[in-house]
Structure 1
């Protein structure tokens, strides 16, 4: 249950906001709650307003701004992340980034406002009318620049999806490795199928995020050798960074219905058929750790990376592989992967 707001007087300055800039900014942080109707607790809203001022922050920094405990802020950040308002940044330290409010709040309202279904249906009809009238006015391939523009398009692509989002995912990541918009889209029935490069699983926190999304309904597979990042919504709109070098100006292509889009869909389908599933069957005879180890092994991760992901020493990991060879009747790691795949264990 959300934290209860106790003793907060919204007309005065109840928190220590020395780090939040001029008084007019602090006043906006302490404004009367406006997101309650969307299911956001007033205290959570104050945390969201505080992180909007900072853009990125650790729980301890926000706790200092709001004169409350770090644990309380951390719980609020977890709820805000579930609602798609903040994302957790990559790295070992727990740090969060605010999601751009316009896109994030629109997604939240869409997911919670059943009474506006009729209005949305009318808006969809009007949108199709507009698209038909303006057909031919858009470029089939549009080049966008900047990490923020790329992030906005990725959010928009998912929010506009009605049936399916398919992706190829690999590092590096421009802002955050997490994708809170996906969890919201899954709840409204959008299907997600993702192919991950083994390098993605080595980033701190990524494997845990993938497991959570798989639990929510995502279908995930791993494939060594991915050379591009790609997201396609409803097979009608694609987003693809033009370079994996994020130290220079970020450029990406927005691709609308065309022969190029058809080719990218065919390439994604080839990757999907070749990739190894990350989720196990319900009657998996192996324990969860063995299955994870096999999946990472088949995905092409090195011994050190697998041990780090599973919290083992390299020696322990290699000992378990040897035991797994005996259980599967395999002479080497390649055979173990083949046998496990044939039996439907991975």
Structure 2
């Protein structure tokens, strides 16, 4: 039987050696002469293949004469070959991400005119995408309506996949938009760290402590944004973000040991963020009466007298 496949090329086994290996796998042991017909190769080629396979740990010679060979368990032997190749591939992917970031970073040099650069119109969207793609270590984000560009950020999942740390603080108004909670939880599942704060001051994305983009006039026809480069102003933005981050309520805490539903966790997170009753009801699809009844039950369960106390207790318990 002749095997034409080369399925093991990724493990560094060429087609000729693979044919010999497959011929040996279907027998407990065999000599080189016995493998000639099954592999479709000449005796010298089979002997050379057996030598290479032996050195790679895929076959072993059995003591005695004439020389006989047996195949190793492919799962163990090939895993030992594939693992270094996978590591090399991961290193190559990391290198590509780093080189790409360097490419974009070179295009974000501090402008000659000063630490703040203003972009307008369609350049705002392009600058926003380029800024995120240049991230190497971390992204800090403030998120709040209104939105001039389409809601959502299709660039973020790819950046999270590179291992970039992404922290986002959401204004409560951002959570009541249709589908917002589900979208944020999807991003949290991909690695985003999400919190909510009632007084998020403005929209911002700050990358690698190197450059930030802040929309200036989202309510006007002419969209403008400021790009803030290394300066005392950028240092101040870092301080503002970290202060807000410390005060914000986590949306990505581990599930609680107590048996409460995901919807209850969402309700508590919205309460802790200061979202109003009617907005919570719209977000969760509940009537105001039903929602207030559930809030009362949660307050009793937490031993809290106020919504603020409930939010604090739920955070301590890891419910939100």
Query: TM-score range, shorter-chain basis?
Result: 0.5 to 0.7
2:168 is aligned, of 179, 194, 200, to 194
Query: What's the offset of the Cα at 1:209?
Result: 1.1
1:1-346 correspondence runs (5 A): 137=112, 139-146=114-121, 148-245=122-219, 247-285=220-258, 286-346=260-320
Once the two structures are superposed, residues 242-287 of structure 1 have per-residue CA deviations (whole angstroms, 9 ceiling, x without a partner) of 1242x33111100110000000010000000000001232334232
Task: Quote the offset at 1:328 in angstroms.
Answer: 1.2
Q: CA, structure 1 residues 234+175, in 2 after alignment: closer, same or farther (shift >3 Å)?
A: same
CA contact (8 A) 1:177 1:206 kept: no
CA shift digits 1:184-232 (9 cap, x unpaired): 1111111110000000011122222111101111000000022310100
Distance 1:212 1:338 in 2: 24
Please give the secondary structure, in 1, of the residue aligned with 2:155. helix
**Structure 2 residue runs without a partner (length 5+):** 1-88
1:137, 1:186 → 2: CA distance?
A: 32
Q: RMSD of the TM alignment (CA)?
A: 2.8
Structure 1 residues 140 and 311, CA gap change in structure 2 (3 angstroms): same
Question: Quick one: structure 1 residues 343 and 241, their matched pair in 2 at CA, closer, same or farther if it must change by over 3 Å?
Answer: same
What is the CA distance between 1:306 and its match in structure 2? 0.7
Q: Which has the greater radius of gyration? A: 2
- TM-score, normalised relative to structure 1: 0.61
Runs of 4+ in 1 over 4 A off after TM superposition: 112-128
1:87-141 Cα deviation digits (max 9, x unpaired): xxxxxxxxxxxxxxxxxxxxxxxxx99868767767777888x789x87736311
The 1-side partners of 2:100 and 2:268 are apart by 48
The gaps in structure 1 that reach 5 residues or longer are 1-111
- TM-score w.r.t. length of structure 2: 0.66
Indicate conservation of the 8 Å contact 1:328/1:339, yes or no.
Answer: yes
Q: Is the 8 Å Cα contact of residues 280 and 291 (structure 1) preserved in structure 2?
A: no
